[in-house]
Copies of this chain bind each other. A is one copy, B any other.
């Protein structure tokens, strides 16, 4: 600061420009970035960060919806025999249990990542939180996709059955159960799509640095 002021006394105008121009050489990203893209890039990055947080909240809501929809699914048929009452619950099928756990983890991660997303709004040129977010988002998208894909396969089987493997469709009997699980799978895939957009948004924001 002192040096800068002494230069200012000697050649005021050019030293100002030099200070501005030399900043990238010093390797301080917070100071360097505005030189790279100017004020416009800062606004652009802040816009991306705000869009990121909106997408993140939407994805968290979709994941929560998927978890709750699947986790509360059970159906008891209105008729029963002397020894047995027909009942279907999500934890009868291990895949649906996996879906509930995975979607719960993804939802928790998305909520916990909100502070990092806020950091990206406050400091649009910070690289570290963006890189952390893109890595964890990629893992989250894989987890959510695996859970949704596996559940979709089971839901398809419940709807259509498979004559070759001699697995009968159970949706004739457990109609409500099948509809609720299908809804949960749709919510799961919505989460996946939102997470893909989050990853791409982070990649585009990283590029600008």
Interface of A (DSSP majority class): helix
Chain B residue at minimal CB-CB distance from A162: B93
Say whether A103 faces chain B, with CB atoms less than 8 Å apart: no
Task: Count the copies.
Answer: 2
Question: How near does chain B come to A55, taking the closest CB pair, in angstroms?
Answer: 14
B156 touches A165 (CB 8 A): no
Please list the residues of chain A having a beta carbon within 8 angstroms of any beta carbon in chain B. 7, 11, 14-15, 17-18, 20-25, 27, 32, 35-38, 88, 92-95, 127, 130-131, 134-135, 138-139, 141-142, 145-154, 156-158, 162, 164-168, 170, 192, 196, 199-200, 202-204, 206-207, 209
Bound-state CA distance A203–B198 (Å) is 13
Residues of B within 8 A of A153 (CB): 95, 149-151, 153-154
Q: With a CB–CB cut-off of 8 A, which chain B residues contact A142?
A: 141, 145, 192, 196
